[in-house]
Structure 1
């Protein structure tokens, strides 16, 4: 700061002796000295900033495209879905990877799976009423219930679960919290009536084998006991299996959510209809697949437009970026990439075979006539092209695009034992590191500029002082000569 102030002071006084505008002269010399360097660094920085921005734009485009397509495929709208003739009794959905073409089944639901529910017969003054301390033990098995009471119980193979009730949990709400914290398969809640009295309610999981007893080891907690001959609680619902018939064959399941009865189908049982079977069929996603192809082509063309601009051989910021140009090549090959393996002869195996073609400018277009024909003639094969698979080829369009995206964005390779990131992530790192060097160089130029200006300022200040001294001597001599002439 002192040096800068001193330099400014010198600059202010420059020219006083010589009459030359040395301040402007110094400024011009300094600017001329570093103009080319500054211009070069500014150009480099602008180019690197543009490259970093372009990489981000391309990376965002391909990752958004890949993730959006993956979400669409995983959403299930592009696969054949099961149908139910009576959704008030049961609903049906496709499981991942299911092939439901030709699905036809009859399901009769005669009983829903139920859970045992036990409620304390005695009421308490409120949630914070003190009950007592001790241990509660949950035992699971099968039970018989009659008129709200357990009349029989057979313990299962599972080990009983003991829940400690200490002084911090001796209230009704504390006991409920302790039971829930045990995560033993029984949930506890407190029901409070209009008068403020409260009861503890225990609910197990559905299924015949999920009946339970609750026993205590202290008299204070016996008011919550659940078991044969116990009057402390009443059984509002008994544990039971769902009972249904698949094509006339009787089966039972412990849950109302059934995924192992019909291959590829998940059933949600919501009601009963004795003697009235529900018919299961299937519906093809024809309209969804047609829209998906159109949306894919539109998004592809948008991404290709970005790549075309950014990799333009003359004006593109990424014209020399191998990762960006490699991505453009990989995308151009996508319409001919095999997306389904094991297809029958004549079935479509890639996008080109369902009417997606590449135009001369690199964009894609859809032949709707060819697409509709494929959807009509080989709907299962078209659906297979959008299957939720894995791998660059043979796993569906989403997997193929995801493989391209992964390779383009952040492919990892091992070089000399070190894992290196290549792809667009590597490009960003390269450009960022180069920009940091430019920034450092700019900082050095700023420092060098200040030092050069200070040096020139001091040099011209010294010269100006010398000229002023000479001019003073000249004035003195002139005055002396004039005096001599006057005297003579």
Structure 2
């Protein structure tokens, strides 16, 4: 019964469909329209896959938006989480240093001194006085009416500095003052002396020789008398017109006198460069305080707040509901488990506190929508009074019960406190490591002094350096602050190799490739079906045309017979 009913229904549908293309005259059948309708019916099977691809593409786009916002949040967290690897020190805002200068005795500090400090430089205070700036030696030639006229001089002279190399300069009769200057400058990198032509007036020019570096003295040789002819040296071989003598920079740091050939001094205190630009009088000095860069720390906190709020805004958009109570049409990741996990991890990180210090201590709080906001007055007060609180709240912290153990790299899963039992041989090389009595969690590196966490354990990612010469038990205490936790949460989400968002996007893209394969298969089959129909209906049309020819012939015969009778 069921089979008969289905067949009957199908036959009726086909008949109805065909009727739209048929008429009493079979020659008027719309064969192309009929074929196209049957072709489109075959393609309809691909619509489901097209819809799935479109849905997945919307999700992929949303995941990518999330990943971009999380990357920005990760960058903001990275600046605040503190580093254990020295190669990453440039990203640690707490290692940034600023030189704060104060003039003493009426001197304007910025007029005599500038100081730059590298990241991680030891903080401290220094008193600076400057009695003399380094200068370059300058000497002048005699006056010439033209800078471009040939001087009719021929010969060779040597030029250089007393502590450097000398070069030979060849002069020909057709060379002008400018030509000689150019010849000297071509060798400046070797000689350490440069030349310029000074226009004193419309009819007076001088050749000026200057040491490239301050604190250097020009040395010349003039066997052919070229320099004497130019008026640079006198009959005794000395400089005829010294415009400026060479001298060393002389300054003091905390009462210690220092002499340098340059006004840019970077070899006195590690990490500091002093730029001497003026001198101090008696009873004048400049106090230089090297401290954390409070402006950068504040900017990093504000950037973190902004980055979190940008992600929070996106997360809320994916939780919007429609007027009927279901998910909004734009909330393509509504209820998504991957995003929910990330949101929970970020929210958990923001509740972190250490020694009763939470983010409210520095002026951070949530509004009614769980956006972060900050009280600028409170934040400024903390920066000026105790900036260590900010680092304590945001950063990773590490303490070891032994000064012999330091951390090089850190992981994410080890407990906050654990004890390393380290054994060494007579040469101080590590022979074994256990954690609270359990072995197999760390291996010893090839140096004999490194301890590396085993992959797949809670200590994966950790590397310690042990410099002790005796076996000992070392207790490690660590804490992951707000920025450290958020950095790790975002890394787990957007890591290029194994991030949760990376994986789900890759899975959706793989599914879309499979769906596209299905669409391509359906399309190919439909094209083949269409080609077959076209050929079959062309054959039918030919048969009909042939039949109509026969019919017309028979009708003509009948008409002829009837006419004869």
TM-score over 0.5 for the pair = yes
The answer to whether 1:138 aligns with 2:157 is: no
Q: Which residue of 2 aligns with 1:7?
A: none
In the alignment, is residue 24 of structure 1 matched against residue 33 of structure 2?
Answer: yes
CA 1:62–1:470 in 2, change beyond 3 Å: closer, same or farther? same
Structure 1 window deviating more from structure 2 (357-366 vs 298-307): it is: 357-366
Q: Is the 8 A contact 1:392 1:400 kept in 2?
A: no
Q: 1:107–1:244: 8 Å Cα contact kept in structure 2?
A: yes
- Matched residue, 2:113: 90
Contact 2:136 2:247 in 1 (8 A): yes
Are 2:239 and 1:235 equivalent residues in the alignment?
no
> Which stretch shows the higher mean deviation, 193-202 or 433-442?
433-442
- Partner of 1:274, secondary structure, is coil
Measure, in 1, the Cα distance between the counterparts of 2:480 and 2:141. 56
Aligned partner (choices 8, 16, 35) of residue 44 of structure 2: 35
Compared CA separation, residues 174 and 21, structure 1 to 2 (3 A) = same
Name the counterpart of 1:460. 537
Q: Secondary structure at the match of 1:474?
A: helix
Give the C-alpha shift of residue 106 in structure 1. 3.4
Q: CA RMSD in A?
A: 5.4
- Residue of structure 1 equivalent to 2:137: 116
Contact 2:185 2:193 (8 Å CA) reproduced: no
Change (3 A) 1:410 1:241: farther
Give deviations 1:387-432, integer Å, cap 9, x for gaps: 99997799998888777777765556xxxxxxxx878778877777
User: Cα distance, 1:278 vs. partner?
Assistant: 2.4
1:465 CA displacement: 2.0
1:153 is matched with: none
User: In the alignment, which residue of structure 1 is the partner of 2:548?
Assistant: 471
- 1:61 matched to 2:138? The reply is no
Q: Is the 8 A contact 2:43 2:526 kept in 1?
A: yes
* Change beyond 3 A, Cα 1:24–1:334: same
Q: Which of 208, 218, 221 in structure 2 is aligned with 1:212?
A: 218
Structure 1 contact 224–232 (Cα < 8 Å) conserved: no
- 2:154 and 2:511 map into 1 onto residues whose CA distance is 72
The whole-number CA distance in structure 2 between the counterparts of 1:80 and 1:286 is: 8
Q: How many residues are treated as equivalent by the alignment?
A: 437
Distance 1:223 1:392, change over 3 A: farther
* Distance in 1 (alpha carbons) for counterparts of 2:192 and 2:341: 55
Give the equivalent residue in structure 2 for 1:152.
Answer: none
CA contact (8 A) 2:157 2:169 kept: yes
CA distance in 1, matches of 2:162, 2:275: 25
Given the alignment of the two structures, is residue 250 of structure 1 paired with residue 257 of structure 2, yes or no?
A: yes
Q: Which has the higher helix share?
A: 1
Aligned residues of 1:384 and 1:396 also touching (Cα < 8 A): yes
Give 1:442 deviation, angstroms.
6.3
Distance 1:370 1:108, change over 3 A: closer
Give the CA deviation at 1:25: 0.6
> Secondary structure in 2 aligned to 1:192?
strand
Per the TM alignment, residue 17 of structure 1 is displaced from its structure 2 partner at its CA by 4.7
Q: After TM superposition, list the pairs within 5 Å mapping 1:290-305 onto structure 2.
A: 292-305=300-313
Does the CA-based 8 Å contact 2:42-2:522 persist in structure 1? Answer: no
* 8 Å CA contact retained: 1:354, 1:371: yes
1:452 and 1:395, CA in 2 relative to 1: closer, same or farther beyond 3 A? same
Question: Does the 8 Å contact 2:345/2:486 carry over to 1?
Answer: no
Output the CA distance in 1 between the equivalents of 2:52 and 2:304: 38
How many Å separate the matches in 1 of 2:512 and 2:272?
56
Q: Which segment drifts farther, 49-58 or 351-360? A: 351-360
User: Partners in 2 of 1:382 and 1:122 — Cα distance?
Assistant: 67
Deviations 1:167-221 (A, max 9, x none): 99992353144124x26544443333432635243233223xx323144676557
Q: Return closer, same or farther for 1:97/1:184 CA change in 2, 3 Å cut-off.
A: farther
Q: Following TM superposition, by how much is the alpha carbon of 1:301 offset from its aligned partner in structure 2, in angstroms?
A: 1.5
Give, in whole Å, the separation in 1 of the partners of 2:149 and 2:318.
68
Give matches, 1:94-173, under 5 Å: 94-98=117-121, 100=123, 103=125, 105-121=126-142, 123=144, 125-126=146-147, 136-141=158-163, 160-162=165-167, 171-173=179-181
1:267-286 alignment, distance < 5 Å: 267-280=274-287, 282=289
User: Secondary structure of 1:205's partner?
Assistant: coil
List alignment gaps of at least 5 residues for structure 2.
Answer: 1-21, 81-90, 321-325, 398-407, 412-478
Name the CA shift for 1:405/1:224 in 2 (closer, same or farther; >3 Å). farther
| Contact kept in structure 2, 1:213 and 1:225, CA below 8 Å | no
- Check the 8 A contact 1:311/1:325 in 2, yes or no: no
Mean CA deviation greater in 217-226 or 105-114: 217-226
Q: Which position in structure 1 is the counterpart of 2:405?
A: none
Map 1:274-353 to 2 at 5 A: 274-280=281-287, 282=289, 289=297, 292-306=300-314, 315-316=331-332, 331-332=346-347, 334-335=349-350
Q: Which of 1 and 2 has higher RCO (CA within 8 Å, sep 6+)?
A: 1
